[in-house]
Amino acid sequence: MLREGSQGGNFAAAGNAINSASFTPNGAEVLTASNDGTARIWNAATGKLLTTLDTGFPTYSAAFGPGGTYVMTATDAAEITIWNVQSGKQVADFFAGKAFLVHASYSPNGTEVATASNDGTARIWNATTGRQLAIFREPHAAPIGSATFSPDGAEIVTVSDDGTARVWDIRSGRQLTVITDPQGARLYTAAFNPDGTRIVTSSGEGSATVWDALTGKQLTTLEYAQGASILSAAFNSSGTEVVTAGYDGLASVWSATPAGSLPTVVQMATSRVESGLAPNELKADLAAIPG
């Protein structure tokens, strides 16, 4: 069992930066995206590697579709690819404009895709045809790091390099909430919890923070013991846990329950990842990590 605000199991990508990490809809598996041109699916409890999807380009984002049957990846070539999880085969792909693409996510019903780009825009696309449906522009034209739908599909939350997260109404394009990191840290991603009342952000200061989605009030901070930038953070399907992806190549699972103070962190060693491991060594090391 994880303690309040504590860090649980880790998943290592052999020294490559993990750019995003997310749970399957049932919370049993973790999906990661890495600079080595792969997306990987892991057992969330044991850390065992289950599936590898080879994108061929540095992969900045990977997300499960509703039901967990499909995975969507986004690469630095601005290519969105849909994969069948069981077969590991590509079933569709399209190019999301000319801007440098850093993140993509599914709408709750799987019919639309939200993307974030370094040109200061977030866009909504038809997931089947690739047609652009809407565009949102960051007020300061700062690069946008992520764009994620709310559980009801009516809103998206974006983060940008200016240290803010913004909630937008998709239909009207109106900005609803602005969240500002108190330390002015660069925010990499933001995602809603399952009922849409909380948002978790990841930052370059080695922490993930849970916020009230309506008021923007800071609720809980998850401090990464190693201090590396956290490139991604997302809730599980019950909202009780958060999975983070770090620049040091580790993905970690945390309790998301507010502790009323800075959380107690279970420190996990990273020397085995930084030094690089052979596949059999990595497998043995992952099996030894407590879930």
Segment 137-196, tens digit of pLDDT: 988 778 898 999 999 999 999 998 888 999 999 999 999 999 998 878 889 899 999 999
Does 42 reside within a domain? yes
Does 113 reside within a domain? yes
C-alpha–C-alpha distance, residues 100 and 12, integer Å:
26
- As a whole number, mean pLDDT of residues 205-232 equals 85
More confident residue, 57 or 277: 57
Does 194 reside within a domain? yes
Domain count for the chain: 1
Does 268 reside within a domain? yes
Does 182 reside within a domain? yes
C-alpha–C-alpha distance, residues 39 and 219, integer Å:
31
Does 1 reside within a domain? no
Does 265 have pLDDT greater than 80? no
- Six-digit token pair at 177? 């909430």
Does 90 reside within a domain? yes
Q: For residue 148, which of 140, 136, 139 has the smallest C-alpha distance?
A: 136
Express each pLDDT in 46-87 by its tens digit: 888 899 999 988 898 898 888 888 899 988 887 889 999 888
Q: Please check whether residue 281 is in contact with residue 19, taking contact to mean a CB–CB distance below 8 angstroms.
A: no
Does 68 reside within a domain? yes
Q: What is the CATH number of the domain that holds 15?
A: 2.130.10.10
Express each pLDDT in 192-216 by its tens digit: 999 999 999 998 888 889 999 999 9
C-alpha–C-alpha distance, residues 269 and 274, integer Å:
10
Find the length of the chain: 291
Provide the residue range defining the domain that includes 257.
Answer: 7-287
Q: Please check whether residue 54 is in contact with residue 38, taking contact to mean a CB–CB distance below 8 angstroms.
A: yes
